[in-house]
Each structure stands twice: as C-alpha cells, then as structure tokens.
A and B are shown apart, each in its own frame.
Chain A
Amino acid sequence: MFENKSGILLIAGLGFFLFSFVSNALVPILMYRHLPEQTVEQLVTQNVLYQFEDLKIRYPEQFKTYVGEATAENCAKLLKRGRDVYVAEGCWHCHSQFVRPVSNESRRWGPVSQTIEYQNELQRPVMFGTRRVGPDLSREGGRRGNDWHAVHFYDPPTVSPDSPMPKYRWFFDGAPNKPNERGLAVILYVQWLGSWLESYPLYENYLPIQESMSNPTE
C-alpha cells in the first residue's frame, strides 16, 4: 500500500487532499452558510453615498465624464470598479484588511474584524492582505477627505512625507484635482472600507454613542 501506485495515487494523491479540503475548506463554508453573501448594491449605504456625492461636488467635470449621474446604481458600479483597481494594482500586497485581536491592534485600527464583515461580493477573493508596508485599511473609510486621497494617490509624500508608496499618476488626467475613472473608483473603494460599522468614520479615541451619552460630563 505504501509503495505501490494505487496507494500513492488514491490515498496520498486524492485521499489526503480531499481530507484536507473537507476539514479546512468545507467546514468554514458550512459554518457560515447562514450568513448570506451581500451584493454590491446592498453595500451602498448612506455613508458610501455621501462620499459618492462628495466626489461629484469636488470633481464635477470628471465625475460627469466618467460616472454620469450620482445614482445608487452608478455608485455600486463605481465601487465594484474600485475593488478591481485595488486588486489590479496589488494594493493588497502592502495594505491588509483585517484587525487582529492582539498586539494593540484594536487600539490603533478600531474594532476587531468579524466574519460577517467579509460576507459580500467585494470580498471575492477575500482581501485579507498579506503584508503591512502601509497601514491596515479595513477602517480607513471616512477618516480622511476625498481631496486628501486624491493628492495622496497622485503624490504620496505631499501628505505623508516618509511614505514609500508609489505615485499612481495614471489615476488622473494630469493633475491631482482631475481623477479619472480609476481614480474616482479607487477613492470611493477606500472610503467604503468600514462604512458598515457604527463607528464610521473611525477617529482616534472614538467611543460608541451610548457610552459617551451615559457619561456626558466626560
């Protein structure tokens, strides 16, 4: 059995692989089968729409050319496009999207990541990330304005002096106040991150509303 062809092909080749697939992949799939996958349309909350309309106000001509009307459908479309840009440029190789329950991460980034946050179409494939050259982005949305992001994508050192992040000039029509489709999309995508949380936008020393109201003198 251990040295013949059928043993190696069937037990080692197929059997052990299937065992690992069942125990390591099917188990989580079955465990989370009650959490339905949200579509992009369902992800367009008021928080995202606010940023979407803000893009229209700040870059009216660019917005009209590349997006059109500020409708919820267009917002979903742009959001999906933003995710594609995020994947295509390999952003996720230097920015993670999960906050771990250790190493003071919840103090730096905000609430620890939960499974429900990833059950949506934009996490297909999941964007956990693999390396943090730059900060975690899972609670980045809303913390900074769209102008900041535009300038940052155009020339990171302008707003973040020591940043080794590349310049993404091809997101723009020649100037930081003229983001093209990819620029608008990726800015919206970054602003979407964390938009599903109560703590959006997450600022330092954030306290949930009940807690801050229960002790108003502080």
Chain B
Amino acid sequence: MNSTTSHELAAEPIDPTELVEERLVLWYFLAAIVSISISLLGGLLMSMQLIHWNPHDGVEYLSPGRWRMIHTNAIAYGFIANSFLGALHWAIPRLTLKKVLCRRLSYFIFAAWQVVVLSTVAGILMGHAQGVEWGETPVWIDPLAQVGLFLVAINFLTPIIRAKGPLYVSLWYFMAAFVWTFLTYAMGNFMPQYYVSGTSAGAITGLFIHDLVGLFVTPLAWGLMYYFVPILLQKPIWSHGLSLVGFWGLAFFYPLNGIHHFLLSPIPMFLQYSAIVATVAVEFVVLTVIINFFGTLWGSSRALVTNIPLRWFYTGMVCYFLTCLQCSMQVTISFQKVIHFSDWVVGHAHLVMFGVFGLWFFGMMTYLFPRLLRHPWYSRNLCEWHYWLTAVGIFVMASDLILAGLFQGYYWVSLQPWDASVNGSQPFWIVRFVAGVAIISGQICFFVNLWKTWRLARASDVESLLPNTTYGPAWTAE
C-alpha cells in the first residue's frame, strides 16, 4: 500500500464487502474444487492402468488415454483458472480500492468459463481433443475461451488502470499476466493447428506449454503471494528492489524458455541452446524472489506452526525453489540425454503444478473460506490432515517419479529390451499410486471439513456475525 491510498483509507473507511463480490469468490472456489476432483479421478485411473489394476479396461469413455488429457486440462483450466479468478475477485478490488468493471460481466464470465471447462471435459471424453499438450481443449471451444480471456482482462484491468498512485507489486504481475495469458492462448491453440506444421509448430507448442505455466500461472500466483503473505505476517515485503528484479527478470527470461521442451529435436540447435541459457537465467531470478519471501518470514517463522495458510504458502515456495533448481539442471543437454521422455519430467510437472500452485490455492482457500462463509473452520485437525496428507503425498510422488525417470532413462540408454524399462518402473508406479491415494484422502478431509463448516455457517445467524471477528485471530500471526 502506498501513502496516498492508506491516507484515503484513513480518511474515509471503505467496507471491503461492498468492493468484493464475495459470492462470486465462493462460487469460483467451489468450481475449482469440482474440477480438481475430476482431475484427481483421471490421475487415479491413469496410475491404475499403468500398474495393471484398471478394473474397466476397454471401455471407451473410461479410456485412460482420454482421462489423462482431462487430468491435465481440468487442472489448468478448471482448478487453476477458477481458483485464480476467485482469488483475483478478492484481491484486486482490495488492492485498488475499486470495483471490477462490471458485476454482470463478472457473472457472465463465471458462467462462460464453466461452459469452457465442461465442454473441454466433454469434448475430450467424446474424442475431440486437440493435439497440443496442455491445450487439448477441443478446437470448437477455443474461440469462446479466447473471448473469455479477453473479457477477464478487461474486467480486471479496469480497476487497476483506474487506481491512483504507485502500483503495488501484485498489480504488476496481474497486469502483465492478463496480456500474456490472452496472447499465449491464441498462439498455442490457433497457430500450430491452422498456420504452421512440423518443426516450427513444435517450437510454438513448446512456447505455449511453457508460457502457460510461466506467463499465466506463475505471475498470477506470485502476485497473489505478494498480496497474501504480508497480510498474514502483518509486515511488509522484505525488499522492494528484489521484487523489481523478480518481476522484470521473469518478464524477460521466462518467455524465452519454450523450446527447452523439445531439446535434441530437429528444431535448430542454436535456438535450443538459447532456451537452455534463458532457463538457467530464470533460476537466478527465482532465487531472488525466494530470498525476498524468506527475508519477509525472517523473525516470524513461528507463524508456520500456528498459521496453516501461511504454512501452505511457504511449503509451496520450497517446492518452487526445488522445482526451479531441478529445471535449471534438467534443461542441460547432459541431463536431457537420460531423462527426456521419462517419468522424471512427469515428477517435475506434478511438483510445479500441484506442489507449488495447488498448495498455494489450498492455502488461499483455507484462509478465505471462513471469511466467505462467516464461520471458522469446523475442525482445525481436518485442516492439519489436509495439509499433511497433501504435502507428504506430493513430496513422495514427485521424488518417486523423478527417481523412476532416472531408472527408465538408463534402461533405455543401455539398449535393454523395451519391456525391461516398463517392468522396472512397476515398483515406482505402485508407490506413485499410493502417494496419489494419500493426496486424494487429503482432499476428502478438506471437502468434509468444508461441508461441515458450510452446514454450521448456515445454521448460525449469518447477520449477527461481523466480518473479521470470529474467524480472524486463528489464522493471523501472533
């Protein structure tokens, strides 16, 4: 917060409940929860197929190949996008002290986006998937998704543009991300399908896969971290200078990484090397952001024990550091020789999409649901179970898959028969299945807790509870 806005705040208190459309935040979070449930079932099915435990093998609409695509797309466009939209509806009006452009438009976007998500799931299930990784959304829904992203940008950019005074870090990330997401989606879903084929299309799909993570998910997520962490710790971010380095470093280097998804492919070698160099550069940028956040935590680390949302956030940040460190190594040609095409990459993807962003969303939901429902959590124990089952589950799953990748890679290099690599993977795949079940159990704790809290909130007299009173102290640092 800058001096102007805090001055205005002091002069004329603004009721945040008027700024924020809280019902919409709640709806988005519920949509996100439905999406992650669908996605988890898809992942479970695929993991059971690999260990020969699939009870319904040979049924078209339960095809693990199709459900694998639903697994990733429901995460990207269902869980992640819905969680973002919910959290942004909470954060942006509070940061800018302005409402979003139009309340009706917000509800329209909500409905349109759920149509996009459901059409994607249904389309993939019916066999209409598009051949772009992370963009398997059927070609007939892409235009609507593109319009949706445009409307999202307009709806959220308006309050940011209208805000007076210097912009807080979060808003830098949000502004850039709305532009990037729109451009990235257009590039990845239309160019390789209609305009370019072959190796150049490979370069573009590489850019798309990476930009989707790096220019849509990462900036929005870090922007929200810059918003939530200082609030939970009740102190400002450690270094403004490092925030600048983090944002501009990400903005410049991240888009140049894409081709590292297809190293040693027929894409020109000099482009592959430039992607490798840019990826290693991103790791240094990431380091500055991590240092900044741990500098903020310095002296308040006790809060990690008492404050569950904060614990979710910092666990995600540790995963973020690990996954980026891993990335800066795995993009080198020497690592690529062994680990490309193996489960190493799958482990990496789970660590970043679930271990970082998934955990952050659970942190935001744990923090916001009591505020949205005007009732404290039904059970803190269930919150703890949710955290521990999820965190341990993803840690075991990622390490297991990364190790499996090394084994598979060396099986292949050593020219043993193909089956050796498949049979050698079985123990790892079984561990992965168990870790997946742990993660699902964690979410069941979360859903039960949410349901019970919901019931309690309904039973109690909503009007008599003022915001920020009953549920506040438990989650803020002492």
Which residues does A use to contact B, with CB under 8 Å?
Answer: 2-5, 8-9, 11-14, 16-17, 19-21, 23-25, 27-29, 31-32, 35, 37, 85, 87-94, 96, 98, 100-105, 107-108, 113-115, 117-121, 123-135, 160-164, 166-170
Contacts and interface: CB of A to CB of B under 8 A. Distances in A.
Of A14, A114, A132, chain B has the most CB atoms within 10 Å of the CB of A132
B203 A25 contact: yes
Nearest to A2: B244
B196 A29 contact: yes
Given A23-B256, A130-B133, A104 B266 contact: no
Contacts of B203: 24-25, 28
Contacts of A27: 268, 271
A28 B268 CA distance: 7
Closest 3 CB pairs of A and B: A20-B255, A13-B179, A118-B198
A101 B205 contact: no
Contact of A124 (B166, B179, B197, B211): B197
Contacts of A35: 198
B251 interface: yes
B407 to A, nearest CB: 13
B345 A115 contact: no
Contacts of B342: 131-132
B119 to A, nearest CB: 15
B176 A102 contact: no
21 contacts: A13-B175, A17-B255, A20-B255, A21-B207, A24-B207, A25-B207, A28-B268, A35-B198, A88-B129, A124-B192, A125-B130, A125-B131, A131-B342, A131-B345, A131-B346, A132-B412, A133-B50, A162-B423, A164-B51, A166-B63, A168-B63
B179 A9 contact: yes
A161 B22 CA distance: 55
B258 interface: yes
Contacts of A103: 337-338, 409, 412-413
B104 interface: no
Contact of B172 (A3, A37, A113): A3
Of A14, A98, A126, chain B has the most CB atoms within 10 Å of the CB of A126
A141 to B, nearest CB: 17
A124 B57 CA distance: 30
A20 B244 CA distance: 20
A89 B66 contact: yes
Nearest to A18: B183
B197 A19 contact: no
B65 A166 contact: yes
A166 B57 contact: yes
A131 B197 CA distance: 20
A131 B65 contact: no
A181 to B, nearest CB: 12
A127 B50 CA distance: 22
A87 B58 contact: no
Contact of A135 (B167, B191, B418): B418
Contacts of A16: 251-252, 255
Contact of A102 (B60, B129, B261, B264): B264
A196 to B, nearest CB: 13
Contacts, number: 234
A81 B419 CA distance: 30
Contacts of B244: 2-3
A100 B264 contact: yes
B387 to A, nearest CB: 30
A126 B197 contact: yes
Contacts of B128: 88
B175 to A, nearest CB: 5
B354 to A, nearest CB: 17
Contact of A90 (B68, B160, B176, B258): B68
A19 B255 contact: yes
B49 interface: yes
Interface residues of B, number: 92
Nearest to A121: B197
B267 A28 contact: yes
Given A12-B176, A13-B180, 20 more contacts: A2-B244, A4-B167, A8-B167, A11-B251, A17-B180, A19-B256, A20-B256, A21-B207, A25-B187, A90-B136, A100-B337, A102-B264, A124-B192, A124-B196, A124-B201, A126-B192, A128-B205, A166-B65, A168-B58, A169-B59
A114 B419 CA distance: 27
A21 B210 CA distance: 12
Contacts of B395: none
Interface in B264-323: 264-268, 271, 274-275
Interface in B122-145: 127-133, 136
Nearest to A166: B64
B49 A164 contact: yes
B68 to A, nearest CB: 6
Nearest to B173: A8
B337 A87 contact: no
B247 interface: yes
A98 B202 CA distance: 11
Of A2, A3, A14, chain B has the most CB atoms within 10 Å of the CB of A3
A21 B187 CA distance: 9
Contacts of A2: 244, 248
Contacts of B194: 124
B423 A93 contact: no
Nearest to A170: B60
Contacts of B131: 87, 92, 125, 127
A88 to B, nearest CB: 4
B66 A90 contact: yes
Interface string B233-267: 00000000000100110011001101101101111
